[in-house]
């Protein structure tokens, strides 16, 4: 397995060089470097005897179909787009690892068809909407998305055509009833596995997420002449509330809550802040806990604003339910890890993945590899050779179990 693990790491490095920016890894949906990624991955697929195509949403898809196998297949994959100045493994590792799992299936002569999908867009950087690729495969692509524009005024429809594809054929990307399941391999993008000294984890589900904007409206005034007791300071109110957000998250098991963006007006040294817009991102594996936390934080903001003589406005941007992984496929992964003599760590994913879109249509499972230092979405993102080897060994057992079960 060591040779295969080294090949995985080397391929991730090669693909990292296919970027829009010299010296940085930036690869947005259907930008020119994606052609290079497609050519590289297509070459790997064809060398393995896979049938390769690109669908109307720009997903590169390769099918390994052994002779005499039934029509049902395992879908695997992840995304090849990145955030700006990204690391080399987010998304891409899952595509390259999926090809190695296909090689395992070939070597074992398993009667199992496997389709590997390199999703065209998961991050949503170029057009502001994530999961364009997996939405199409899951049959959930809304044609209204074609009118979206990027920062240069290019529509999504025009970008697809410029890449040499036909947006009128996006509907053909939708999976049919032959899929037995979907499996995604991904870096954890967090610190838990590294802190516990573990290579792998089975993902139990992807947390639900709420995003809001709260606006505290007070009164801008002179910083030198307005007594403290007579102020309506929007920034002081927001600061009090932000502290309450952190306190609630620390006191609630499994809850993460973040205020990541604050806009202050007029934002001057000698002026009391008259208005503050603050973002709120709340995530939890259980929707009821998340919803309760959001209401507590909103009520707390109202109380703070009322006590300080401020108005408060709340605007929602996202309310995404938690997505559980398939219990059967998840148990297959857990059994495979245990059979390899490793501790079975099960955990929710705090980040969104293509798996959450696919899970609405097909039984889905995810396998996490540790992120050294818990670093992701950053050039320092890394993967350990020993963890890749472990994931390959687990893959061998998982595929054998699935082939026997599907057959």
pLDDT value for 1? 81
pLDDT tens-digit profile of 3-52? 999 999 999 999 999 999 999 999 999 999 999 999 999 999 999 999 99
Each residue's pLDDT tens digit, 353-404: 999 999 999 999 999 999 999 999 999 999 999 999 999 999 999 999 999 9
**What pLDDT score was predicted for residue 68?**
75
Identify the pLDDT of residue 354.
96
For the chain, give the percent of residues with pLDDT over 70.
99
Residue 185 has a pLDDT of 98
pLDDT 10s digits, 322-334: 999 999 999 999 9
Residue ranges with strand state E in 285-401: 311-320, 323-324, 346-349, 364-369
- Is the torsion defined by CA of 159, 160, 166, 167 positive or negative? negative
- The backbone torsions φ and ψ at residue 109, rounded to the nearest 5 degrees and listed phi first, read 55, 45
C-alpha span between 1 and 265 (Å, rounded): 58
pLDDT of residue 71: 66
> Would you call 193 helix, strand, or coil by DSSP?
helix
Q: Which helix (H) or strand (E) holds 379?
A: none
In this predicted structure, what is the pLDDT of residue 406?
A: 79
Contact (CB, 8 A) for 212 and 219: no
Average per-residue pLDDT for the chain? 96
* E strand spans, 194-248: 200-206, 208-217, 221-222
Q: Are 292 and 196 in contact (CB under 8 A)?
A: no
- Of the CA atoms within 13 Å of residue 164, those in its CB half-sphere come to 8
Residue 70 scores a pLDDT above 90? no
318 burial type by CB count under 10 A (0-12 exposed, 13-18 middle, 19+ buried): exposed
Q: How far from 241 is each of 174, 214, 215, 300, 347, CA to CA, in Å?
A: 44, 10, 12, 7, 30
- Indicate the range of 292-296, 313-317, 339-343 predicted with least confidence: 313-317
Q: What distance in Å separates the CA atoms of residue 200 and residue 338, rounded to the nearest whole number?
A: 11
Assess whether pLDDT exceeds 90 at residue 67: no
Nearest to 176 by CA among 389, 361, 353: 361
**Above 80 in pLDDT, residue 76?**
yes
Structure confidence at residue 364 (pLDDT) = 98
- 321 backbone φψ class: left, alpha, beta (φ>0; ψ -120 to 50): beta
Tell me whether residue 3 is exposed, middle or buried, using C-beta atoms within 10 angstroms of its C-beta: 0 to 12, 13 to 18, 19 or more.
exposed
Which of these, 122, 87, 81, 298, lies nearest to 206 by C-alpha position? Answer: 122
Q: How far is CA 75 from CA 137, 220, 316, 360, 362, in A?
A: 11, 57, 34, 14, 9
Residue-wise pLDDT tens digits, 213-230: 999 999 999 999 999 999
pLDDT confidence of residue 318:
86
Q: Kindly report the number of other CB atoms within 10 A of residue 253's CB atom.
A: 6
d(CA 137, CA 89): 22
203 band by pLDDT with thresholds 50, 70 and 90: very high
For residue 140, what pLDDT band results from cuts at 50, 70 and 90? very high
Taking alpha carbons only, the member of 63, 17, 66, 70 closest to residue 40 is 17
3-state secondary structure at position 310: coil
Q: Residue range 231-259: average pLDDT? A: 98
Structural domains of the chain sorted by starting position, each given as residue range(s) with its CATH number in brackets? 2-206+322-406 (3.40.630.10), 215-320 (3.30.70.360)
Q: Is 228 exposed, middle or buried (0-12, 13-18, 19+ CB in 10 A)?
A: exposed
Mean pLDDT of 91-104: 98
pLDDT mean over 51-62:
98
What angle do helix axes 2-16 and 92-108 make, rounded to 10 degrees?
150
Q: How far is CA 178 from CA 100, 146, 355, in A?
A: 22, 28, 17
- Smallest Cα–Cα separation from 163: which of 45, 58, 304? 58
Residues 140 and 134: their CA atoms lie apart, in Å, by: 8
- C-alpha separations of 402 from 71, 110, 163, 183, 234 in Å: 14, 10, 36, 11, 57
For residues 262 and 322, the answer to whether their CB atoms sit within 8 Å is no
Give the global pTM: 0.88
């Amino acid at each position: 397995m060591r040779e295969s693990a080294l090949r995985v790491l080397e391929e991730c490095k090669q693909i990292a060089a296919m970027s829009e920016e010299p010296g940085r890894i930036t690869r947005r949906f259907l930008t020119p470097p994606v052609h290079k990624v497609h050519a590289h991955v297509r070459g790997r697929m064809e060398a393995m005897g896979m049938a390769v195509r690109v669908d109307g949403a720009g997903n590169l898809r390769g099918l390994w179909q052994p002779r005499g196998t039934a029509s049902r297949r395992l879908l695997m994959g992840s995304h090849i787009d990145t955030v700006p100045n990204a690391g080399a493994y987010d998304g891409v590792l899952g595509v390259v690892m999926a090809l190695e799992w296909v090689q395992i299936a070939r070597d074992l002569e398993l009667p199992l068809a496997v389709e590997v999908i390199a999703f065209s867009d998961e991050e949503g950087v170029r057009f502001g909407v994530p999961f364009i690729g997996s939405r199409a495969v899951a049959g959930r692509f809304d044609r209204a998305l074609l009118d979206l524009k990027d920062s240069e005024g290019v529509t999504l429809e025009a970008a697809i055509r410029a890449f040499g594809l036909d947006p009128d054929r996006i509907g053909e990307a939708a999976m049919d009833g032959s899929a037995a399941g979907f499996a995604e391999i991904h870096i954890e993008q967090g610190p838990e596995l590294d802190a516990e000294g573990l290579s792998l984890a089975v993902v139990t589900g992807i947390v639900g997420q709420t995003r809001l904007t709260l606006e505290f409206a007070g009164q801008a005034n002179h910083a030198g002449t307005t007594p403290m007791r007579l102020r309506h300071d929007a920034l002081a109110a927001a600061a009090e509330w932000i502290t309450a957000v952190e306190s609630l998250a620390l006191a609630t098991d499994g809850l993460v809550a973040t205020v990541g963006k604050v806009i202050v007006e007029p934002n001057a040294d000698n002026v009391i802040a008259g208005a503050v817009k603050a973002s709120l991102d709340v995530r939890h594996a259980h929707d009821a806990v998340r919803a309760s936390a959001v209401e507590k934080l909103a009520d707390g903001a109202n109380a703070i604003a009322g006590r300080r003589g401020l108005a408060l406005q709340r605007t929602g941007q996202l309310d995404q339910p938690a997505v559980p992984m398939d219990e059967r496929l998840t148990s297959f992964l857990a059994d495979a890890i245990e059979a390899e003599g490793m501790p079975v760590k099960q955990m929710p994913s705090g980040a969104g993945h293509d798996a959450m879109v696919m899970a609405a249509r097909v039984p889905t499972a995810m396998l996490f590899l540790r992120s050294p230092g818990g670093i992701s979405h950053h050039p320092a993102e890394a993967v350990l050779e020993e963890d890749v080897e472990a994931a390959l060994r687990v893959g061998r057992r998982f595929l054998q179990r699935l082939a026997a079960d599907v057959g």
